[in-house]
Structure formats: C-alpha cells, structure tokens
C-alpha cells in the first residue's frame, strides 16, 4: 500500500477506536484564536494530536492541538482545535493529513476558518469574511503521485467553496444580524508577515484577505469532491500606508480572532444544524 495512504488509515483507525460509534457529518478546522468554537461542542471526546500515530504536533500561536469529537447543531462533528502549517516545517502531506483522515472517518462537509489580514481597504479588524475563492501561493498538496483512492489526478477547482453553503451562511448571518463580508483569500508561505509592497500587490491581483493556511486543506477536500465552506476573521488591516511605528504582532492577531470567535461560532452552529 502507498505509504501516504497507510499513514491516513492508521491514524483514522486509531481515532475510530477513541471515538463514539456515530460517524461525524462535518469536519471543522479552527485557526488562530478560533478554538472557542470547540467549547460549544457537546458530549466531547478530546484526542490530542500527539497521541495519534504518524501525526505532527501543532506549534503555532493559538493552536491547542486536539481533535474534538461530539455534537454541534444537533449533528456529530469532529473539529481540529488548531491546524498544521507549511511554515512549521511540515511537508504538505502532513499539513493536509487530517483532512484525509476526517474523510475516512466519514465527514460529508468541511468547514475551515482562519485569522487573516484585510488587504481590502473596506475591511476592518473584527470583520467576518466568507471566502468565495482563493489565490494559492503555497505548494500544491497534490503534487506527486496521485492518491487515486481519494480523487482524480486533475480535480476541478471552478467552485472551491460551495455556493449553496455560502448562500446559507448569508441567510443565517442576516437572521442573526451579523454583518458579513465576502471575498478572495490569498495564502502565502509565511512565517514572516508580508511587506507593504506585497500587500499592495495582493490587492492588485484580486485578494481581499491574506494568510498562511487553509488553501491546502481546501484543495485536498475538493480532490475528494467534498463541499467546503470557509470563513476568515479579519485580525489586522494589511495595508501599505502604515504609521511609522506600526508593527504586526502575532499575539494581537490571536486576540482579535478570539474577540470575533463567538459570532463565527453562532454562524457555524446554525449552518451545521441546517445541513
């Protein structure tokens, strides 16, 4: 068997032995400072990544490093309380390993979230942005021998984020009186924050928000024809007209994400209940 598939299956078998009999309907990836949503999951089983065979360990600020299994919105879910990043030194196979493991466990939908800088001048700190499309500046996780058990060599990416889920989010947010932005998310390698000239360039090529994650997970999910919903919390204004003493700060990003997490959690919970 392909070693990559063996790693996926071994991790999935271990998780299955720790979880309940109910197959999760939805997989959720919680980014920097957004682990609060995990607190809303009921009847929790917590499995630290370090316990799972072949799994890396999350080292990023604001990423606890657990799988949380339980119920949210009346549905069985499995949530990643923290993700893996290319900038941590992990190859794309490991960055995206949890997505394939959750697929094997039975998820039918993937919800992804992240903290992002708003390069769109209309975006302010604390805004929630529904991701409608993306621009990938990270290595593509499908490079290499295709994993035929999961999907085709050349998967379609015309609609990487499911239009029906976007429409559902907008309807639910309107009912909750939560304003939403909608835009294009761009991911670079990090870990350094981008320069003002890079922010200007990203805006010129069509990005509304910028971060260092998410897209590899989305590509792997779409490789398996899994519907995806994505949301960014705008945690800093990624502009090119800063005051002379302005500094991008990782702790401030996590704090801003934490402040917006309750609103994002309300939308995710209601969406999952509607599936």
Q: Model pTM?
A: 0.94
pLDDT tens-digit map of 125-147: 999 999 999 999 999 999 999 99
The reported pLDDT for the residue numbered 243 is: 59
Helix (H) or strand (E) holding 217: helix 215-223
Per-residue pLDDT band at 252 (split at 50, 70, 90): low
Q: Give the integer Cα–Cα distance in Å for 26 and 24.
A: 6
Per-residue CA distances from 141 to 90, 206, 212 (Å): 12, 23, 14
Per-residue pLDDT band at 60 (split at 50, 70, 90): low
The reported pLDDT for the residue numbered 63 is: 55
Buried-exposed string 23-43: b where 16+ CB fall within 10 A, e elsewhere: ebbbbbbbbbbbbbbbebbee
pLDDT tens-digit map of 17-32: 999 889 999 999 998 6
What are the tokens at 73?
């919105």
Q: How would you class 153 by CB atoms within 10 Å of its CB: exposed for 0-12, middle for 13-18, buried for 19 or more? A: exposed
The reported pLDDT for the residue numbered 189 is: 97
Q: Give the other-Cβ count within 10 Å of 150's Cβ.
A: 21
pLDDT tens-digit map of 61-90: 555 789 999 999 999 999 999 899 999 999
Q: Tell me the three state secondary structure of residue 196.
A: helix
- First CA to last CA distance, the chain: 35
The reported pLDDT for the residue numbered 62 is: 55
- Asked whether residue 254 carries a pLDDT value surpassing 80, the answer given is no
Residue-wise DSSP of 71-95: EETTEEEEEEES---GGGT--HHHH
The reported pLDDT for the residue numbered 21 is: 87
pLDDT tens-digit map of 184-240: 999 999 999 999 999 999 999 999 999 999 999 999 999 999 999 999 999 888 776
Residues written for the chain: 275
Average pLDDT score, the chain: 91
The reported pLDDT for the residue numbered 140 is: 98
The reported pLDDT for the residue numbered 250 is: 58
The reported pLDDT for the residue numbered 85 is: 94
Which residue from 133, 100, 107, 102 is spatially nearest to 209, judged by alpha carbons? 133
The reported pLDDT for the residue numbered 242 is: 61
**What is the share, in percent, of the chain residues with pLDDT greater than 70?**
92
Mean pLDDT score, 238-265: 71
């Amino acid at each position: 068997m392909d070693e990559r598939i063996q790693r996926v299956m071994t991790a999935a078998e271990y998780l299955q032995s720790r979880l309940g009999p109910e197959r999760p309907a939805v997989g959720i990836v919680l980014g920097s400072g957004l682990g609060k949503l995990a607190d809303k999951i009921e009847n929790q089983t917590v499995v630290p990544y370090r316990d799972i065979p072949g799994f890396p360990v999350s080292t990023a600020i604001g990423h606890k490093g657990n799988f949380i299994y339980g119920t949210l919105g009346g549905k069985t879910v499995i949530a990643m309380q923290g993700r893996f990043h290319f900038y941590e030194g992990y190859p794309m196979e490991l960055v995206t390993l949890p997505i394939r493991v959750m697929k094997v466990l039975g998820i039918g939908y993937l919800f992804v979230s992240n903290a992002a800088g708003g390069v769109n001048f209309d975006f302010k700190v604390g805004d929630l942005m529904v991701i409608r499309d993306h621009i990938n500046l990270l290595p593509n996780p499908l490079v290499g021998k295709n994993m035929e058990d999961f999907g085709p060599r050349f998967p379609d990416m015309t609609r990487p984020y499911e239009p029906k889920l976007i429409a559902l989010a907008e309807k639910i947010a309107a009912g909750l009186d939560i304003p939403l932005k909608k835009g294009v998310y761009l991911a670079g390698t990090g870990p350094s924050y981008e320069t003002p000239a890079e922010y200007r360039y990203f805006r010129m090529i069509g990005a509304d928000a910028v971060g260092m994650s998410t897209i590899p997970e989305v590509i792997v999910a779409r490789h398996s024809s899994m519907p995806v919903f994505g949301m960014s919390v705008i945690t800093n204004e990624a502009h090119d007209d800063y005051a002379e003493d302005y500094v991008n700060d990782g702790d401030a990003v996590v704090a801003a994400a934490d402040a917006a997490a309750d609103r994002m959690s309300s939308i995710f919970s209601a969406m999952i209940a509607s599936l």
